[in-house]
Amino acid sequence: MDLFEYQGKQFFARYGIPTSPGGVADDVEEAVRQADAAGYPAVIKAQVQVGGRGKAGGIKIANNAAEARTYAEAILGMDIKGHLVKRVWVEHSSDIVKEYYASYTLDRNAKKYLLMLSAKGGVDIEEVAATDPEAIVRVHIDPVEGVSRQVLAEAVEASGIDLEARAGVVDLLEKLYLAYVSGDADLAEINPLILNSAGQIHALDAKVTLDDNATYRHPEWAEYAATVEYDGRERLAKEKGLNYIGLSGSVGIIANGAGLAMSTLDVVNQVGGSAANFLDLGGGASADTMSAALEVINTDENVEAVLVNIFGGIVRCDEVAKGILEALSRVELKAPMVIRLDGTNADLAREILAPHISDRLVVEPTMVSAAKRAVELVKKGA
Amino acid sequence: MSIFVDENTRVIVQGLTGGQGRFHGLRNRDYGTQVVAGVTPGKGGTDVEGIPVFDTMEEAVALTGATASFVSVPPRFAGDAVIEAAKAGIAFVVCITEFIPAKDEAYFYNLLRDEYPGTRLLGPNCPGIISPGKCNIGITSGSIALAGGPVGIVSRSGTLTYQAIHELSQQGVGQTTCVGIGGDPVPGTTFIDCLAAFEADPETKAVLMIGEIGGSDEEAAAAFIAEHVNIPVVAYIAGQTAPPGKKMGHAGAIISGSQGTAQAKMDALAAAGVVVAANPTAAGEKMVEIVHKMA
């Protein structure tokens, strides 16, 4: 789960990481009130989960209430790279002396945690990594051993962070590590991490991704989950307990297993079509799960054909075939369906489906032929 | 021959008394796997269809001489179960549990690497391992696999592993061992571990490898193949059309930034001399062709 900046700052605050006090606003009046409360100059920041907000005009500094109103009006409702701004964060503008960068994440190659630290903050870190890799200090941390203050101090020194900021940055990195590990974050990033004119270090931005698998030990995450933005299809799928991702094509995909579902997307693309979604039924593929999948697919107006791709290992294809027929009797599917079943008892499954074959229900023996057929049906419909 | 397991492998199912553990543990035994014990704290002294259940791994290992374990417990208990198996001296731990927090995974992976180098972990979030006709640990359907080799299979995805096994078996091409390494960010066993083992196995004459988007294990495997693997390798990478930033079901299957795209992986593998196929069916066909040419 990706957090909005204001949530990331709330998350950081729980671990003692200093941030500027401020507040959120969903409308212009509230934004002006928050700016008045924060004191001018106040910065108004669009809350969207996409990089490059500043360049897009989503971050403005207001010197008085009139400016706060003008900027809030401009930013609320703005479209930033396809993300609609529904909320702004308003805080007192910081007196920035220096901008640094700090993050913890998992290095999948090394299978250890990775601290990245740079004296060159405030800009896109991937750009720094590409143009000036030496400017980023990388330290691997063994998850069993953790990280010592000594190691952090050495990293800070190596990064070239200004002398007067070093002790403060070491403190902050200790707290950020705690937030990353105890807070079960996949990513805890501060860019920029600033030194202000009072000599203090604090987080001017917060980019946090939480590990969904750790939700069970963080009841406090419920408030973050409530603000996650799904499209209508994704929300319904989540309610039905399906592993679903909405895409923009015209072939609805239903498969059992994440790998097979991904692979189905690939094959549809290879035969000239495009997938409307990723949908993994999981191991079961029962009538209930299949019905739920059909309901979700039905809500997608772009779908012109549905491709069901099942491999029966332990789950037998004949049971899946019965489940599909049962689901089709419960849910009236808007688009025609192409079914490919292979594996255990696939022959039996094809016998069960045979009497039901029509223009609306097609059975194909292979993934590729099924994908071709689905794409043909889309073209016929168009 | 086979890699990691064989007909002499003696298996303890951790979580045998649970729904999943019981279902798959008994299926594994029916396949012919030596399932010698179960472990569930508090259920020691009972049995599951004749398989004795113990309270601890230490006790179970001491009394049965088991060398492998099959972890089928809920995510919050999985880390402790894996560590307990390693402490008890188990050499091969298969963990099928899905949805384990990444911090737990990173912790027990490193703990095993540092403190219990004699223990190999397969998974978590994997379908397990099958050496057809000898041993099946995990959730793979034994009936689709064909004994006798000469192909070794290694895959990050469960259903695609089954698909690959099926494509080969249908054409009469058998498998030495099929290893599902799992789709999580910190897999205990990697492509490289399996490729090295297959290369060293005299009966494995070719390897079918199924990767997916996310991370760079496939790129690392490509570099390893170029240097150390002489038997032919066919590969398929799932997720060629997956959009960046979306987790495609598996926690590890996500394209972040420029990292982990299918194209980069396919290019790296092709450059290492691997036969790269566009989809699983094509991968199966190419492997069958290679095997037929050998005969």
CA-to-CA separations, A333 to A236, A301, B30, B227, B270, in angstroms, rounded: 16, 12, 40, 52, 42
A262 to chain B: which residues are within 8 Å by CB?
A: 157, 212-213, 238-239, 242, 248-249, 253
Residue B264's identity, in one-letter code, is: A
Q: Which fold has domain A232-381?
A: Rossmann fold (3.40.50)
Do residues A114 and A138 lie in contact, with contact meaning Cβ atoms separated by under 8 Å?
Answer: yes
Provide the 3-class DSSP secondary structure of residue A152: helix
Q: Identify the residue among A314, A319, A341, A368 best suited for mutation to test binding to B, counting B beta carbons within 10 A and taking the highest.
A: A314
Catalytic residue positions of A?
101, 189
Q: Is the pLDDT of residue B257 over 70?
A: no
Do residues A119 and A99 lie in contact, with contact meaning Cβ atoms separated by under 8 Å?
Answer: no
Class of domain A21-92: alpha beta
Name the token pair of A235. Answer: 């929300």
Residue A144 to residue B253, Cβ atoms within 8 A: no
| CB-defined contacts A:B, below 8 A | 165
Task: Give the residue from B221, B219, B264 showing the smallest Cα distance to B239.
Answer: B264
Residue A343 to residue B166, Cβ atoms within 8 A: yes
Whole-prediction pTM: 0.93
- Cis peptide leading into residue B243 (ω within 30°): no
Provide the 3-class DSSP secondary structure of residue A220: helix
Residue A214 to residue B109, Cβ atoms within 8 A: no
Do residues A306 and A252 lie in contact, with contact meaning Cβ atoms separated by under 8 Å?
Answer: yes
DSSP secondary structure letters along A43-111: EEEE--SSS-TTTTT-EEEESSHHHHHHHHHHHTT-EETTEE---EEEEEPP-EEEEEEEEEEEETTTT
| pLDDT one digit per residue (tens) for chain A, 382 residues | 899 999 999 999 999 999 998 999 999 999 999 999 999 999 999 999 887 888 899 999 999 999 999 999 999 999 998 889 999 999 999 999 999 999 999 999 899 999 999 999 987 788 888 888 899 999 999 999 999 999 999 999 999 999 999 999 999 999 999 999 999 999 999 999 999 999 999 999 999 999 999 999 999 999 888 887 777 788 888 888 888 999 999 999 999 989 999 999 999 999 999 999 999 988 667 888 889 999 999 999 999 999 999 998 778 899 899 999 999 999 999 999 999 999 888 999 999 999 999 989 999 999 999 999 999 999 887 6
Instruction: Give pLDDT tens digits for B122-151.
Output: 999 999 999 999 999 999 989 899 999 899
The ipTM assigned to this model is 0.92
Please report, for chain A, the start and end positions of each structural domain, with discontinuous segments joined by +: 21-92, 96-224, 232-381
Residue B277's φ and ψ, nearest 5 degrees, are -105, 150
Q: Which of A106, A266, A313 is opposite residue B241, by nearest beta carbon?
A: A266
Q: What is the dihedral of CA A25, A26, A31, A37, to 10 degrees?
A: -30
Number of C-beta neighbours around residue A65 at 10 A: 14
Q: Using 50, 70 and 90 to split pLDDT, how confident is the model at B290?
A: very high
Q: Identify the residue among B28, B241, B263 best suited for mutation to test binding to A, counting A beta carbons within 10 A and taking the highest.
A: B241
The CATH code of domain A96-224 reads: 3.30.470.20
Instruction: Give pLDDT tens digits for B39-54.
Output: 999 999 999 999 999 9
Residue A262 to residue B27, Cβ atoms within 8 A: no
Q: Which residue has the tokens 């049965």?
A: B64
B251 to chain A: which residues are within 8 Å by CB?
A: 213
Instruction: Give pLDDT tens digits for B74-94.
Output: 999 999 999 999 999 999 999
Helix H or strand E segment including A203: strand A201-203
- Domains of chain B as residue ranges with CATH: 10-122 (3.40.50.720), 141-294 (3.40.50.261)
Residue A213 to residue B99, Cβ atoms within 8 A: yes
